[in-house]
Chains A and B, each alone.
Chain A
């Protein structure tokens, strides 16, 4: 038990199949933050992403056999797929944020906080631009660029070829650049961006 933290994910999963709660707890503690970030990047909502991670782990606990060691897939690769699919399902059910909302939210804050406001606006604009990407482009960008998975792994998770994945990535970045340029977020100095009068 003392070495549980050093055990591989796959070894822990073998014990989870036998109903070992300690092994499950160890796996959850090890990966919650990572998969919460992945879920957040997909849905852009903190509470929602916590629910997604919880659902994913509970599904794993209830049906650990759904991860098949014989297929030779790493646990994390398989679990990214589970989390991504759950996030996509939830996003489809949820109504999308209205355009421009993120920028407008920050306009009427107190003066003297221009730089912080500017940074926050840029963050919001970026988040909104990412969230408005087509589903597959966003998934490709999140897995490769933010989660830093290899193209091969990301392609496996998405069920596409590496070529198709690379194409999705290029299109995602191009769309983001267009959108952020159109909104004036890229290359604008803070003094011109934030004005209250």
Chain B
């Protein structure tokens, strides 16, 4: 009985769609989305510099900067005495120079 019933159920008919349905769908789709532009050289170049997670990158740079700033003192070169003396003598010399000497 179940087999007979299944056979009967299978007789349920489905009408064919109109013959040009697929083509009309294709035609309707064309204006809906612009064609994707092929990536040029500049696009590829700019893609190289895209930061995937900007917020994460900024935080990482900030933490790194603070760490370096705290633990590594930037070397301040001692002003050498010889240089200091040379600078003083230069100033002295400049002080004793009359502008007329240059002219």
> What residues of chain A have their CB less than 8 Å away from a CB belonging to chain B?
18-19, 21, 24-25, 28-29, 32-33, 36-37, 40-41, 46, 49-50, 53-54, 57-58, 61-62, 122-123, 126-127, 130, 145-146, 173, 176-177, 180, 186
Contacts and interface: CB of A to CB of B under 8 A. Distances in A.
B21 A50 contact: yes
Given A58-B32, A127-B12, 9 more contacts: A19-B33, A21-B26, A21-B35, A29-B26, A32-B21, A41-B12, A57-B29, A58-B25, A127-B13
Closest 5 pairs between A and B when the two form their complex, measured CB to CB: A19-B36, A32-B22, A36-B17, A61-B29, A37-B14
B77 interface: no
Interface residues of B, number: 25
B17 A61 contact: no
B56 interface: no
B35 A57 contact: no
A115 B17 CA distance: 26
Contacts of B6: 145
A50 B17 contact: yes
A177 B35 CA distance: 52
B57 to A, nearest CB: 25
Contacts of A61: 29, 32-33
B5 to A, nearest CB: 6
Chain A contact residues: helix, strand, loop or mixed: helix
B103 to A, nearest CB: 76
Nearest to A25: B26
Task: Determine which residue in A61, A123, A145 has the highest number of CB atoms from chain B within 10 A of its CB, and name it.
Answer: A61
Contacts, number: 78
A177 B12 contact: no
A50 B18 CA distance: 8
B35 A54 contact: no
Given A33-B16, A177-B5, A58 B28 contact: yes
A92 to B, nearest CB: 22
B17 A49 contact: yes
B26 A28 contact: yes
A177 B17 CA distance: 29
A54 B24 contact: yes
A54 B12 contact: no
Nearest to B13: A123
B33 to A, nearest CB: 6
B25 A173 contact: no
B21 A54 contact: yes
